[in-house]
Structure 1
Amino acid sequence: MTSKDVEQRHEDQLKGSSDGGGIKGYLLHRAKPYLPPWLGVGAVGTTSTIGHLVWAEDVGMGIGLTLGSVTLTVATWWAAKTTGRERRIHSAITVAAASAWTTHAVAFGPTPVPFVVGGVVIALSWNIRQTMRRDPDGARSAASDGGLMEKIGLAKAKMGQAKVEANRVTVPIALEPGKQTNDDMAKALGNVASALDVPATAIRYLPDPDSARRGELIIVPMDMLADTVRWEEVGPSLPGGSITDPLVLGVYDDGQPLMLWLPGDPEQQRNATHLLIAGMTGAGKGDGALNLMTEILSRRDVIFWLSDPKGFQDFRPLLPAMDWAVDGNGTETMVEAVVPAIQARTAWLGGHNYRQWCAEAAETQTDPAHSCRKDRTPCGCPGLPFHVTWFEEAGVSLGLLGDDAFNSIANLARSAGMAIVISLQRASHDQISTTTRDALGGRLCFGVPNATAAGFMLPDAVIDAGAAPERWSNRRPGYCYLVAPGIDDARSSSPGRTRWFTPSAISLMETVADWNARHGAKVDFITAGAAAMAVGKAYTERARHQEENPEPNEDDEETAVSRLDDEDLDIDPREELPQPGPGEENVVFGQPDGADLSREEARTVLQEIVAEFEANGTMVIGVKEVMEHGDRLGRKRGWVSGELQQLLDGGRLAITSKPGRYRIVPAMADA
């Protein structure tokens, strides 16, 4: 019978007849649960009286009853070992008292007063126990079992009053002083899950930072992540909101929203953060990235740069919302553009009296407190939107750039109102440097193959509290742990799940991108100027991913505008070229042979090659790229390396974070 049925039955009883029969029936019904102890007392009294009449003079029966009493009491104690300690003691005392009374009454006759007093006490004690067993709020859980700590090997630990929420129970734990520590409790979490018959990920332990033996045991009995939620069913959480509002990526296992903040908030004492995303193939990292990316692109005050060696396979519907997107070949150039952008943005924020980026910094500066003028009159400067730079499949990029390529930008970007997002499959030291990993701060960890991989992503305290993404591996796509500023420690060890993107989500993704292109923030002149100064045409002539042109009409061939000069309009492309005239036989088209070039001519050709790289948007080069044009130079690698150093000294090239790589200084940078 469900609780709803019980409530309905109780309601029917209250509305029933109020005559003598109705009242009698109601009272009898309410008394039924409390009758068994009284019936037991009556049965003991009746049995002992009959036994006295039959066996009063039988010494052997007296001895048998005595042995039977002891045996029955021991059997009761043994049978109750799986119950709680209080129930076991209560049952043994009751059986011992009843059997002892029966033995005495058979041998010497029943004594009314002790029988009545003792029987009433025994029966009432069980009635009281029955009353206290009721839990009208439905808050009783297995965690309230006093024998739980004994089952897991921490018998003398004490459990406090449980706090019961929707699908979440929090129990204060006080371990035995001098003999047990929080580490002992953390090691016993698997045993707790076994005792309560719940998944291992449903149990967490949050140590008290001010005590070595106190903490909170958190139990989530029902996994609310089992039902997959499609992203298109809910869409972005706050379209048109600010990037300072929480980014909702999914839900926790108790049904609460899985939220992340990228900018800091001094009032909330929350630091700004970067984010490292990792997870093995099939663990749902791609859908998790889409959840975060659509949340960011649906906000009004943020601009977005993306590097994706996969050629935007997952993110193509969102490209119109991005200020700059490059494939793997452009990653090195983007990194070189981020460095001066950080410096320029930091200078702007400092000049406008912002200690860190906040939502007001993205608006036109009309507040005298944030004026860049010396007299502190409103300056009216355009705002500075928040900036997210995302490196997808960063393991590929780091393999080319070196594992410390992001060190400088990761350490400096937070103060410039920028967030760096690095996504890869495994955050091991051979993929990304420990310095960069520690500087990122935020972690979004999906399923990993083993505990070692989990240790690369999650802090030790989170793992000790019960987080174990290796238990899912890639069998539960989307399951994850999120560790970032602004998230409670208890939440960091709580699993969540991001939403699922299906082909039917593409239309809504395109709507998000279209909204951003129309109403989202435009790149500020501070960031754009710094990027253009650093990488020139690679940024100023970056691809703008607009809507595809419609399919051409059948009449396009007739209406197309000719690209020929007027003097060439009469040329028939189907005619053979005319034979060369006298003196024209030796005309050669193409590059000259570098073997015949003088030193100065070779330098001129090298400068032309560098200019060609700049014109094509390739702004980071090395000896390898130049040697691809070695036939034009007629020189070896040693000569090219020395000449690149000369161009570096002359200001045409600039050093990068990786030795042997040079950034081309745009020809018009000084202007």
Structure 2
Amino acid sequence: MARNEVVVRGRDGSEAPVRRGNTAMDYIRPWLAAPGLIPAGYFTHWMWGDAGMYTGLAAAAVAAAGGVVTYATHRLTGARTWYAHHIATAMTGGAGAWLSMATVFGPGRPLMDALLIGGAAAAAISNVHLWARGQGTAETAPKKGRVLPTFEEIAAKIKLRDVRARLISDTEMQQRHELTLDNGETAESIQNRAKELASAYGVAPGAIRVIEDQGRADKAELVITKQDVMGKLIPWPGLEATHVGASIVDHPLHLGTYEDGEPFFNQITNRHSLTVGMAGAGKSVYGKVKMVQVAARRDTFTLAIDLAKGRQTLGPIEGAIGWPAYTKPNARKQLAAVKRAIKARANHLADRGHSQWVPESGLTFLHILVEEAAEVVDFEEIVEIARVARSTGIHLDLSLQRATWGNLDTDTRANLGDGICFGVRDFADASFVLPDYVTEAGCDPSRWRKSKPGAAYAAIEHVDPDRHVVAVKVFGPPTTDPKDENRDLTVAANGLPDQDAKLDAVTRQAFGTEYAEFLASRSRATARAATAAPVMTPAVTVPAVDDVDDEELIVDEDIEPVVLKTPDDDPEIVGDIDTEIPPLDPEDDFALPTRKKGTKASAEEARAAIDALLEDWGNGHQFKAGDFRSGLAEMGVERGRSWFYGQLSELEDAGRIQHDDENGLWSVRDAHALVAA
């Protein structure tokens, strides 16, 4: 209960706090404390001042009693305001010390002067404190910043009993309390009232978090977020000079800032990661910032797979990727090579007596990013890699929009140590990534969805579990303009040394012909780009034919004319531009040209192929988008990704298929209907 409140008990036994104004006695009382010590000093000096050796014993006893009272004051006012806790403790301790010295030396000068001056200062501070409280609490006083009510006021307002709070931190961004739960109260019961607390404090619903103490059931921590920093852009500051060229174990990756202002670091060695977030939530930018920082270390090699967007996402930072794969065949080759490398690296570590990867093992640390992991065809290979790769110095980072049971099985989930969840569509999506103690504390990324790109919760092994419930704002692009997203990342990636030069011999040999073929194709592409000189065509104004005068045409005889030559399909036919073309004989055979994609005929064939595929599957058949595309490809229908997804959308609108948001699969509802033209 606040100092200037009284409790009114109703007939039904309920209690309600009623605020009253400060009276004159409230201001006078602090001025009486110091004068009250003067007769006490005369009394103790009269009793023991001339008692010889007993004088020292009496002074020590008085000091000990004062220490006990001071400690009790400190403990009893721990849940009060800053003034009640610190000032009251200091005044009690000072009074005990003064009385002990007055017992020996008497209350005269200079002890009398010190008492009067110190007592007057303490009384003045108390009067100022009372006056400030009389102006109103945080609910009624003008807010010049985020000033929150005391926990006692909040507890009285929502009738929260059997809970004591001690303020342990109060910053511009957050306020933290240590809660002591009495009479069988549990942290779970306080968590269930988080929205009531948020309303009483006047903050957002997600700004209240109650964290259960893992060591004691009668302890918890209350965190109140004053400012919402999740909606602010924190641009990536670039590579830190001390991290470039260092070992991956020397410094953790600096990836963002916690909402309380602390930096967000992650050490990725000896575990895997699962990163989840809906489109537009900032997941891709986070993956690129992480990739560039890993590639900057001297003992790392980076790989990446992105079948969903190809080079659109990772292309701008290819300077930081040692081996990218953007197609299903290339992804299969890369995964097969990684599986061979795991066995070879494990044998290498065993030969040198290492149970885990260490920088001294002679092996390069591998970072494998799989963007939109649900699109990977051979997903069982991802499961196998996740299960056995961790101890061999391989960090697997799976990134996808949803981590439901349909696209990420239990085996893979069990081998992913770190879970980072950006904004998601609903709370169930977050529960697949974050531990129960995080979501139960009130952490809900579905509140953001994609409205706050870069906002996330990070349940990572590198930090204490208490930090898992603190929201993180990961580094983003320099501006909110989409065209600037890769500006700094591209410059940083292109400034890194060649990743291939860092790859160790054991892993290179295990990668085999697949990696050698990739290097060869990349070398050919680089050579073509270097030798291809841009053709600069000067702008020429061509006059209309009717306005051309033969005398105005100037021909430079020193310029060799450009002659375009094409293969002659029938060299026996001789003629020039003036030769008359004979009429076609009706009896001659006439062959129509082969249909090209995009014509009306090819569209009709594609629709027929869709009908045939659905009829072959039958009603109730479930399939992925990739199955739909591969099935049509077997029938000779080759189109771009957007066309296939457009057909799925049209089929759904027509009621022929239905999408299940839980498992991400499509199901056939009407296999025999005709596709709309």
Question: Match of 2:318?
Answer: 319
Q: Which residue of 2 aligns with 1:162?
A: 168
User: Which residues in structure 2 correspond to 1:274-423 (within 5 Å)?
Assistant: 274-309=272-307, 310-329=309-328, 330-361=330-361, 383-397=362-376, 400-402=377-379, 404-423=380-399
Partner of 1:476: 452
Please list the CA deviations of residues 207-234 of structure 1 after superposition, one character each: whole Å capped at 9, or x if unmatched. 1112112111122212233331233x54
Equivalent residue of 2:458, what SS?
Answer: strand
- Counterparts of residues 133-144 of structure 1 (less than 5 Å): 142=148, 144=150
Indicate if the aligned counterparts of 1:84 and 1:146 stay in contact, CA closer than 8 A.
no
Aligned counterpart, 1:30: none
The residue identity in structure 1 corresponding to 2:502 is K
1:486 is matched by which residue type in structure 2?
A: H
What amino acid is the match of 1:160?
A: R
Match of 2:68 in 1: none
Of 473, 493, 510, which aligns to 1:530? 510
- SS of the aligned residue for 1:457 comes to coil
Q: How does 1:504-653 map to 2 (within 5 A)?
A: 504=484, 506-518=486-498, 522-532=502-512, 535=514, 541=520, 543=522, 546=526, 548-549=529-530, 551-552=532-533, 574=567
User: For the residues of structure 2 that align with 1:177 and 1:248, how far apart are their CA atoms?
Assistant: 44
**Residue 555 and residue 133 in structure 1: after superposition, are their counterparts in 2 closer, same or farther (change >3 A)?**
closer
1:466-497 CA deviation, whole Å, 9 max, x = no partner?
21101111111111111111122222111112
Q: Summarize deviations over 1:34-88 as a string: whole Å, max 9, x none.
A: xxx9xxxxxxxxxxxxxxxxxxxxxxxxxxxxxxxxxxx999999xxxx995x84
Letter in 1 for 2:385: I
| SS of aligned partner of 1:211 | coil
State how far apart, in whole Å, the 1-side matches of 2:128 and 2:180 are: 28
- For 2:353, the aligned partner's letter is N
Instruction: Say if 2:422 and 2:456, in contact at 8 Å, map to a contact too.
Output: yes
Give the number of aligned pairs: 430
Instruction: Verify: 1:202 aligned to 2:207, yes or no.
Output: yes
Deviation at 1:163, TM superposition (A): 2.8
Write out per-residue CA displacement over residues 565-600 of structure 1, whole angstroms, 9 at most, x where no aligned residue. xxxxxxx97556678xxxxxxxxxxxxxxxxxxxxx
Task: Name the SS of the counterpart of 1:475 in structure 2.
Answer: coil
Q: CA deviation at 1:427?
A: 0.4
**77 and 201 in structure 1: CA distance in 2 versus 1, 3 angstrom threshold:** same
Distance in 1 (alpha carbons) for counterparts of 2:348 and 2:6: 82
Matched, 1:145 2:151: yes
After superposition, the Cα gap between the structure-2 partners of 1:152 and 1:292, relative to the gap in structure 1 and judged at 3 Å, is: farther
Distance 1:506 1:473, change over 3 A: closer
Give the Cα separation in 1 of the matches to 2:391 and 2:6. Answer: 72
- 8 Å Cα contact 2:281/2:450 also seen in 1: yes
Give yes or no for contact 2:288–2:317 (8 Å, CA) kept in 1: no
Q: 3-state DSSP class of the match of 1:543?
A: helix
Who is 1:451 aligned against? 427
> 1:197, 1:187 → 2: CA distance?
17
Match for residue 400 of structure 2?
Answer: 424
Q: Secondary structure at the match of 1:313?
A: helix
Deviation of 1:434 (Å): 1.6
Query: Separation in 2 of the partners of 1:243 and 1:514?
Result: 20
2:138 corresponds to which residue?
none
Deviations 1:421-476 (A, max 9, x none): 11111000101112201211111211111111111111101111221101111111
Identity over aligned residues, as a percent? 27
Distance 2:460 2:201 in 1: 30
Deviation at 1:297, TM superposition (A): 2.1
Does the aligned pair in 1 maintain the 2:16–2:156 contact within 8 Å? no
The within-5 A match list for 1:94-133 is 130-132=127-129
The 3 A distance-change label for structure 1 pair 348 and 457 is same
Give the ranges of 4+ consecutive aligned residues of structure 1 lying more than 6 Å apart after TM superposition. Answer: 73-78, 89-95, 124-128, 627-630
Alpha-carbon distance change, 489 to 133 in structure 1, aligned in 2, over 3 angstroms: farther
The question of 1:436 aligning with 2:412 is answered yes
Counterpart Cα distance in 2 of 1:508 and 1:74: 60
* 1:434 partner letter: T
Residues in 2 aligned to 1:486 and 1:497: alpha-carbon distance in whole angstroms: 17
The match for 2:254 is 248
Change in Cα spacing, 1:214 to 1:396, as seen in structure 2 (3 Å) is same
SS of residue matched to 1:458: coil
The 3-state SS of whatever aligns with 1:162 is strand
Of residues 387-396 and 288-297 in structure 1, the stretch that sits farther from structure 2 once superposed is: 288-297
Q: Is the 8 A contact 1:279 1:448 kept in 2?
A: yes
* Aligned equivalent of 1:186, options 161, 185, 191: 191
Per the alignment, residue 258 of structure 1 pairs with 264
Partners of 1:419 and 1:351 in 2: CA distance: 22
Asked if the contact 2:151–2:165 (Cα under 8 Å) also holds between the matched residues in 1, the reply is no
SS in 1 for 2:388: helix
Q: In the aligned structure 1, how far is the partner of 2:7 from the partner of 2:163? A: 28
User: Aligned equivalents of 2:415 and 2:6: distance in 1?
Assistant: 64
Query: With structure 1 as the length reference, what TM-score do the two structures score?
Result: 0.57
Query: Residue 288 of structure 1: SS of its match in structure 2?
Result: helix
Per the alignment, in what secondary structure is the counterpart of residue 314 of structure 1?
A: helix
Q: Check conservation: 1:149, 1:156, Cα contact below 8 A.
A: no
Amino acid at match of 1:142: L
Q: Deviations over 1:619-651 (max 9, x none)?
A: xxxxx99x9799xxxxxxxxxxxxxxxxxxxxx
Contact 2:423–2:445 (CA<8 Å) still a contact in 1? yes
Q: Shift of residue 139 of structure 1?
A: 12
What is the CA distance between 1:132 and its match in structure 2?
4.8
Equivalent-residue separation in structure 1 for 2:515 and 2:228 (angstroms): 52
| Alpha-carbon contact 2:181-2:219 (below 8 Å) kept | yes
SS in 2 for 1:474: coil
Q: Check conservation: 1:225, 1:253, Cα contact below 8 A.
A: yes
Q: Distance in 2 between matches of 1:491 and 1:508?
A: 29
5+ long unaligned stretches in structure 2: 27-120, 134-143, 538-564, 573-629, 637-677
User: Counterparts of 1:214 and 1:93 in 2: how far apart (Å)?
Assistant: 40
**Paired position in structure 2 for 1:175:** 181
Q: 1:291 to 1:323 in 2, by over 3 A?
A: closer
- Alpha-carbon contact 1:278-1:444 (below 8 Å) kept: yes
Is the 8 Å Cα contact of residues 146 and 226 (structure 2) preserved in structure 1?
no
Alpha-carbon contact 1:385-1:521 (below 8 Å) kept: no
- Hey, what does 1:34 align to over in structure 2? none
Distance 1:132 1:352, change over 3 A: farther
Find the aligned partners of 2:499 and 2:340 in 1 and give their Cα distance.
27
Q: Deviations over 1:155-183 (max 9, x none)?
A: 221112433345332211011222x1111
